[in-house]
Amino acid sequence: MSLISVGTMAFDSIETPFGKAEKIIGGSATYIAYSAVNFVTPVKQISIIGYDFPEEEMEELKKRGVWLDGVQRVPDKKSFFWSGRYHADMNSRDTLVTELNVLADFDPSIPENYQGTEFLMLGNLHPKIQLNVIQELKQRPKLIAMDTMNYWMETAMSELKITLRYVDALIINDAEARQLTGLYSLVKAAQAIFRMGPKYLVIKKGEHGALLFHENEVFFAPALPLEEVFDPTGAGDTFAGGFMGYLASTDDISFENMKRAIIAGSALASFCVEKFGPTRLKEISREDIDARITEFKNLVNFEIELN
Ligand code: AMP
């Protein structure tokens, strides 16, 4: 099985209580790819970059099994740029700058060798572009998952609602679920989101873990209590990449397997936050990931006898 990853490949400037990083590599599709390749290859990337996106980063991705045929380079424009500042709790942040640059006129075309891919992860991007990708695929993937964020809710809500009709799974954070539905209760928000189209919903709650909803079932996965969260940027995309990469590698989209995929995604996200940008994701091995998944298992595993 293989996975298509769609989203931004970008530069980010980040401020956390621990320090600042200027113009480092980021972007939703970058994180998705670095995460998913730990479980499945190839990861077929769809994105757009400007003249300034480093060739070494492209080589780094290629080396790990990411196909870049679907990444357009615009020679006379800058790459997407985002800047954010985290609050002291590291769970919430303010966006300081969003410069669309190359993204403003992105019209993705799907390379022929991407057709027939079974899993599709639509990373954070304009919902119209996310829908274009679905419509360009000649065969509907077995599972289409999608991420979005407040920026698109504020600038393209009606397009977002249309795209939602075509996806199987929505992966967002708690604030986004509330903003999308206008409902505070996440259980009520889940039911409202099911009425918009998706059959599965993952709600990420930062250091408080993640919830998976499907029909009347719900599963909860904790986040690993880490001594230090250095930079949460990309944790959501890394989670999504791990989740979809795991599902693609096992080719099983049952609710039971989605529970395992949530743990896989959470394990990857727990590495992502340990250093600025995708740095930590490039260092880890399969053994590191397996050890961390075992830590998750131990964290929630207990025995109790009931009379
Ligand atoms: P996350 O922390 O998982 O929400 O993802 C952060 C990444 O998303 C950063 O690397 C940004 O470059 C990218 N990003 C920020 N805003 C947007 C946006 N409006 N559309 C697409 N990608 C974005």
**Cα(300) to centroid of ligand 1, in Å?**
30
- Give the least confident one: 89-98, 113-122, 237-246: 89-98
* pTM greater than 0.95 (yes/no): yes
pLDDT of residue 64: 97
pLDDT of residue 105: 86
Three-state SS sequence of 203-265: EECHHHCEEEEECCEEEEECCCCCCCCCCCCCHHHHHHHHHHHHHHHHCCCCHHHHHHHHHHH
Question: Is 35 near ligand 1, meaning CB less than 6 Å away?
Answer: no
Rg (CA), the chain: 18
Question: Is 236 near ligand 1, meaning CB less than 6 Å away?
Answer: yes
pLDDT of residue 133: 98
Phi and psi for 173 in degrees, rounded to 5?
Answer: -95, 175
- Which atom, in ligand 1's list, is nearest to the CA of 235? 3
Other CB atoms within 10 A of residue 292 CB: 19
Task: Please report, to the nearest 10 degrees, the dihedral formed by the alpha carbons of residues 232, 236, 237, 242 taken in order.
Answer: 110
Question: Is 102 near ligand 1, meaning CB less than 6 Å away?
Answer: no
b/e 62-92 (16+ beta carbons within 10 angstroms → b): eebbbbbebbebbeebbbbbbbbebeeebbe
Pairwise pLDDT comparison (223 vs 41), residue with the higher score: 41
pLDDT band (50, 70, 90) for residue 73: very high
Choose which residue among 6, 8, 9, 96 to substitute to test ligand 1 binding: the one with the highest number of ligand atoms within 8 A of its C-beta: 8
Question: Is 247 near ligand 1, meaning CB less than 6 Å away?
Answer: no
pLDDT of residue 9: 98
Note the pLDDT tens digit of each residue in 136-157. 999 999 999 999 999 999 999 9
pLDDT band (50, 70, 90) for residue 90: confident
Check pLDDT > 90 for residue 279.
Answer: yes
Check pLDDT > 90 for residue 92.
Answer: no
Sequence spans of domains, the chain: 3-300
Check pLDDT > 90 for residue 70.
Answer: yes
Select from 77, 81, 74 the least CA-distant residue to 23: 81
Question: Is 234 near ligand 1, meaning CB less than 6 Å away?
Answer: yes
- Which atom, in ligand 1's list, is nearest to the CA of 26? 10
Question: Is 265 near ligand 1, meaning CB less than 6 Å away?
Answer: no
pLDDT of residue 288: 97
Output the residue whose Cα is nearest ligand 1's atom 13.
Answer: 27
Instruction: Tell me whether residue 299 is exposed, middle or buried, using C-beta atoms within 10 angstroms of its C-beta: 0 to 12, 13 to 18, 19 or more.
Output: middle
Q: What is the DSSP letter of 277?
A: T
Note the pLDDT tens digit of each residue in 161-183. 999 999 999 999 999 999 999 99
pLDDT of residue 65: 98
The class that CATH gives domain 3-300 is alpha beta
pLDDT of residue 230: 86
pLDDT of residue 18: 84
pLDDT of residue 228: 82
How high does pLDDT run on average in the chain? 96
pLDDT of residue 183: 98
Q: Position 295: which residue type?
A: E
How far is the C-alpha of 132 from the C-alpha of 135, rounded, in Å?
Answer: 5
pLDDT of residue 172: 97
Question: Is 296 near ligand 1, meaning CB less than 6 Å away?
Answer: no
Question: Is 83 near ligand 1, meaning CB less than 6 Å away?
Answer: no
C-beta separation of 114 from 46 below 8 A = yes
Question: Is 28 near ligand 1, meaning CB less than 6 Å away?
Answer: yes
Note the pLDDT tens digit of each residue in 112-128. 999 999 999 999 999 99
Question: Is 262 near ligand 1, meaning CB less than 6 Å away?
Answer: no
